[in-house]
């Protein structure tokens, strides 16, 4: 018995050490990205139900110089859709709706779309145009629109479908706006109250709520500000750009966004989805099942989740979000019980979304963290980098030249940008977050911008 206990203790110690090393690698990546103005937010990584790394990097409010904490609250943007989808699934489980019900059953104003079902809205197969385009063209931008306003606008102008319902997949925020209105119509509760009563409170997600900060401001502890590029080159709250922007005049819309939360609450949500706390197992499985189009083609979307079978990582279930200066992401590796979440309150030219590296870190795969040490190059050295570089998959060349003693880059149809020089064949253009790393023989370079890396060859 003592030997068995000793072995168990040893195995636990080895696991703890491995997780600590993994957490250190994760921290190194996000620290470097924060220093390079590529990441400003909070991250959480977990394995087998245990958090291995949770940390905040950067500012909650750049103007007031307020730091982020792991309790900071972020607008989830389109990550909100999974909660809308769960709300619909709960109504289905309560036998109050059916996925095949036409939307006209609940929103009769849209009876001229007779073929669109609840499931088509959930899976982005309705063919409805995105309401943001419709409202941007037809709505008075000085007013904040609500779901009711959008429904009335659609009923008034009757926009044509982009394609026959259930023949294609095309991501559309309109479907989830309408689903929120269905939740309100069927439940008799507000969208916010329904999610709170049936999802957030049962799961003890105490920092999660629906928030429309311009339409109905609330005093929310630890709430962050969403930031975009300022005219001075620094992050600035998006509201400094006034009311003539979608983040203002569409702030009253719910269903496709507007849920606010923390990484800790989203981890509670992640764990609950492995259980029958909210729904029976068969109903949970339906949420995570790819939708089948009329011709039998499978899409890569379930109910509020993007789905993928990865050759190395198994089945992944995730979603991204981008709205009003926020960038969000959650990904669940259900075959291996691994999860990572990152919530950012900056959407800058330099901002990255390090999904690929996050996966690699969870599976102990090597990643590249770029570090910079300044170096002055002689003109004759800079000239060895010059030339026209191509990537066959991208219809764009990048010309590298020397101008006024500095290396410059110029993409097809764009202006030239100066590159600051660093050791190990590295060059940077900080205002756009562009990094070029040349091969030693100058035959190619990797260009990195916002977390994306692409190879160009001379």
Q: Give the start-to-end residue ranges of the domains of the chain.
A: 75-362, 379-457
Return the pLDDT at 244: 86
Return the pLDDT at 333: 97
Q: Long-range contacts: 96-102, Cβ < 8 Å, 24+?
A: 96/186, 96/187, 97/182, 97/186
Do domains 75-362 and 379-457 share one topology? The answer is no
CATH 2.40.128.50 fits 379-457, yes or no: yes
Least confident of 33-47, 163-177, 200-214, 366-380: 366-380
Kindly tell me the burial class for residue 54, based on how many C-beta atoms sit within 10 Å of its own C-beta (0-12, 13-18, 19 or more): middle
Tokens describing residue 229? 């590029």
235-237 and 66-67 strand pairing: unpaired
CB atoms within 10 A of CB 105: 15
CB atoms within 10 A of CB 187: 19
Tens of pLDDT, residues 192-225? 999 999 999 999 999 999 999 999 999 999 999 9
Core vs surface per residue 301-338: b (16+ CB within 10 A) or e: bbbbbbbeeeeebeebbbbebbbbbbbbbbbbbeeeeb
The DSSP secondary structure of 119-170, one letter per residue, reads: HHHHTT-S-PPPHHHHHHHHS-TTS--BHHHHHHHHHHH-PPPSS-TTS---
Answer yes or no: is pLDDT of 75 > 60. Answer: yes
Answer yes or no: is pLDDT of 8 > 60. Answer: no
Tokens describing residue 287? 């949420």
346-347 and 227-229 strand pairing: parallel
Query: In sequence order, what are the residues at sequence separation of 6 or more whose Cβ sits closer than 8 angstroms to the Cβ of residue 152?
Result: 109
Sheet strands side by side (includes 235-237)? 235-237, 227-229, 346-347
Answer yes or no: is pLDDT of 375 > 50. Answer: yes
Sheet strands side by side (includes 74-75)? 74-75, 259-261, 209-210
Return the pLDDT at 296: 95
Query: In sequence order, what are the residues at sequence separation of 6 or more whose Cβ sits closer than 8 angstroms to the Cβ of residue 156?
Result: none
Please give the model's pTM, rounded to 2 decimal places. 0.81
Tens of pLDDT, residues 414-445? 788 899 999 999 998 877 778 899 988 898 99
The second-level CATH assignment, the architecture, of 75-362 is 3-Layer(aba) Sandwich (3.40)
Tens of pLDDT, residues 91-120? 999 999 999 999 999 999 999 999 999 999
Question: Could you tell me if residue 189 is left (phi over 0), alpha (psi between -120 and 50 degrees) or otherwise beta?
Answer: beta
> Residues with catalytic annotation?
78
CA distances from 170 to 68, 122, 167, 327 (A): 35, 11, 10, 21
Return the pLDDT at 432: 74
């Amino acid at each position: 018995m003592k030997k068995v206990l000793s072995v168990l203790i040893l195995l636990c110690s080895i696991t703890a050490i491995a997780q600590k090393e993994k957490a250190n690698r994760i921290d190194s990546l996000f620290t470097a990205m924060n220093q390079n103005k590529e990441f400003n937010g909070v991250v959480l990584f977990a394995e087998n139900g245990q958090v291995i790394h949770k940390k905040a990097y950067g500012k909650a409010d750049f103007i007031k110089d307020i730091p982020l904490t792991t309790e900071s609250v972020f607008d989830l943007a389109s990550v909100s859709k999974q909660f809308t989808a769960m709300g619909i699934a709960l109504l289905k489980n309560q036998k109050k709706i059916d996925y095949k019900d036409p939307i006209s059953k609940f929103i009769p104003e849209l009876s001229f779309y007779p073929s669109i079902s609840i499931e088509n809205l959930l899976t982005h197969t309705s063919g409805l145009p995105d309401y943001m385009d419709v409202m941007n063209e037809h709505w008075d931008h000085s007013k904040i629109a609500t779901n009711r306003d959008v429904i009335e606008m659609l009923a008034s102008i009757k926009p044509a479908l982009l394609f026959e319902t259930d023949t294609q997949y095309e991501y559309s925020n309109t479907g989830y706006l309408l689903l929120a209105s269905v939740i309100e119509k069927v439940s008799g509760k507000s969208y916010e109250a329904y999610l709170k009563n049936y999802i957030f409170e049962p799961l003890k997600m105490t920092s999660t709520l629906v928030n429309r900060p311009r339409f109905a401001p609330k005093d929310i502890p630890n709430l962050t500000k969403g930031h975009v590029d300022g005219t001075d080159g620094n992050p600035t709250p998006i509201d400094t750009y006034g009311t003539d922007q979608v983040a203002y005049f569409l702030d009253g819309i719910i269903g496709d966004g507007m849920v606010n939360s923390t990484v800790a609450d989203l981890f509670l949500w992640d764990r609950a989805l492995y259980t029958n706390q909210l729904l029976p197992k068969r109903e949970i499985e339906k949420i995570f099942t790819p939708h089948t189009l009329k011709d039998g083609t499978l899409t890569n979307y379930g109910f509020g989740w993007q789905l993928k079978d990865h050759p190395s990582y198994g089945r992944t279930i995730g979603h991204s979000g981008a709205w009003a200066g926020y960038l969000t992401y959650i990904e669940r590796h259900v075959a291996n019980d691994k999860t990572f979440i990152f919530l950012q309150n900056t959407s800058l030219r330099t901002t990255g979304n390090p999904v690929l590296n996050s996966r690699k870190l969870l599976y102990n795969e090597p990643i590249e963290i770029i570090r910079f040490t300044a170096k002055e190059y002689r003109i004759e050295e800079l000239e060895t980098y010059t030339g026209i570089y191509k990537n066959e998959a991208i219809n764009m060349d990048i010309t590298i030249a020397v101008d006024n003693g500095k290396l410059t880059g110029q993409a097809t149809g764009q202006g030239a940008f100066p590159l600051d020089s660093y050791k190990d064949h590295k060059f940077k253009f900080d205002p756009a977050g562009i990094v070029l790393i040349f091969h030693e023989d100058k035959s190619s370079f990797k260009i990195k911008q916002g977390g994306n890396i692409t190879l160009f060859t001379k």
